[in-house]
Amino acid sequence: MNGHSKSALIVLRGNSGSGKSTVAHQLQRHFPKGQCAVVAQDTVRRTILRERDETARHHETRPQSTEFTSSDMRSWYHGWQPLPFVAERRIDASWSVRDTVERVCSDLRLGHAL
């Protein structure tokens, strides 16, 4: 994004396999080298937060595993749940990677909160 001098934090949220990493790496190509960092969820969880296991597998090793199952945990997902402390823009499964990247780049140029 040549000529863009403001900093921005873009957080891509979604289920496993939903294309977050693909979008992030495509987005990175729109910035000059060294001006956009992609920090993967696994880096945050395993390195920064020191979590080693996936949620469901981790749950099975905990005392609460007899109180509720991995299947119960999956049933807790209720779709789109915007975070209350930040303006989010919803991009659902109907959007292509290209459309998603163009939308984020457009929002950045226009100075919108993402």
pLDDT value at position 114? 44
pLDDT value at position 98? 94
Could you report the average pLDDT of every consecutive run of 10 residues in the chain (114 residues)? 65 82 91 86 76 61 67 72 83 91 86 54
Distance (Å, rounded) from C-alpha 64 to C-alpha 51?
18
Domain ranges for the chain: 20-110
**Residues 44-80, buried b or exposed e (16+ Cβ, 10 A)?**
eeeeeeeeeeeeeeebeeeeeeeeeeeeeeeeeeeee
Cβ atoms of 59 and 73 within 8 Å: the answer is: yes
Cβ atoms of 65 and 59 within 8 Å: the answer is: yes
